[in-house]
């Protein structure tokens, strides 16, 4: 069984959704037969690469919120993340274009380190307040996740995997996804949002039953 997960590195709900899904997968008796593939999605693809903005200011502008409203939303998000064992520090850090980070996630997939790289980027951004936008920071994080520094440099100085990122986004949009996280189980069942672990457990069971039925 294959499970595709579309996400963006700067999406706080994506990290939460990853944890909730992982809890369900850990309890799934056929988990050894499950292949998880992380796919790219960009919440702000139009922002020029290398240009960053304060995250809270972006939220205030995009959703017409006050400082107090953004701070309240952040406090709720921190509590939600903590319930999943995640430590969020949602101060007034930067946000920006995540294309390069996604390209490195594709490199990591080719090197068998995809989950490790995605996990490292999430933790860097949400817990440690580190940048996932500039080449120096991305290189350090990718190497920490087990990638070769030379391979990383080759990707960041060229356009490797840019087409793969664009294809991921187009595929998600073709299926009607306009936000993330977005999960597709065995090319049959879609789940939108960071649902409760119980929901993921139910869909895993449904996908398994559907597979058994179709093989009869």
Whether the full predicted model's pTM is greater than 0.85, yes or no, is yes
Number of domains comprising the chain:
1
Quick check: 195 pLDDT over 90?
yes
Quick check: 213 pLDDT over 80?
no
Q: To the nearest whole number, what is the mean pLDDT of the chain? A: 96
Q: Strand ranges (DSSP E) for the chain?
A: 2-7, 35-40, 52-54, 94-96, 182-185, 189-192
Identify which of 209, 181, 210 has the alpha carbon closest to the alpha carbon of residue 21: 181
pLDDT tens for each residue of 115-167:
999 999 999 999 999 999 999 999 999 999 999 999 999 999 999 999 999 99
**CATH number, domain at 34?**
3.40.30.10
Quick check: 13 pLDDT over 60?
yes
* Chain centre distance of CA 47: 18
Distance CA 58, CA 6 (A): 22
Parallel, antiparallel, or unpaired: how do β-strands 189-192 and 182-185 relate? Answer: antiparallel
pLDDT tens for each residue of 49-83:
989 999 999 999 999 999 999 999 999 999 999 99
Domain span at 7? 2-214
pLDDT at 215: 63
Quick check: 216 pLDDT over 60?
no
Give the CA distances from residue 77 to residues 46, 71, 95, 132, in Å, rounded to whole numbers and listed in that order.
Answer: 25, 10, 17, 20
Q: What angle do CA 86, 88, 91 make, to 5 degrees?
A: 180
Name the packing angle between helices 135-144 and 99-110 (round to 10°): 30
User: Is the Cα dihedral 29, 30, 35, 37 positive or negative?
Assistant: negative
Query: What percentage of the chain exceeds 70 in pLDDT?
Result: 99
């Amino acid at each position: 069984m294959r499970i595709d997960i579309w996400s963006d590195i700067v999406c706080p709900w994506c990290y939460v959704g990853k944890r909730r899904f992982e809890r369900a997968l850990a309890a799934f008796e056929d988990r050894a037969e499950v292949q998880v593939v992380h796919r790219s999605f960009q919440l702000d693809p139009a922002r020029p690469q290398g240009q960053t903005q304060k995250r809270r200011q972006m939220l205030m502008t995009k959703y017409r919120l006050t400082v107090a409203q953004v701070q309240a939303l952040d406090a709720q998000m921190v509590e939600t993340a903590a319930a999943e064992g995640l430590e969020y520090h949602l101060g007034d850090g930067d946000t920006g274009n995540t294309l390069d980070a996604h390209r490195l996630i594709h490199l990591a997939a080719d090197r068998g380190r995809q989950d490790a790289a995605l996990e490292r980027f999430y933790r860097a951004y949400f817990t440690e307040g580190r940048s996932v936008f500039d080449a120096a920071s991305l290189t350090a994080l990718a190497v920490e996740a087990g990638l070769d520094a030379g391979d990383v440099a080759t990707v960041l100085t060229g356009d490797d995997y840019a087409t793969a990122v664009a294809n991921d986004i187009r595929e998600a949009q073709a299926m009607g996804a306009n936000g993330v996280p977005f999960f597709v189980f065995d090319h049959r069942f879609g789940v939108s949002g960071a649902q409760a672990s119980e929901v993921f457990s139910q869909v895993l069971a449904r996908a398994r039953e559907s597979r058994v039925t179709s093989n009869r």
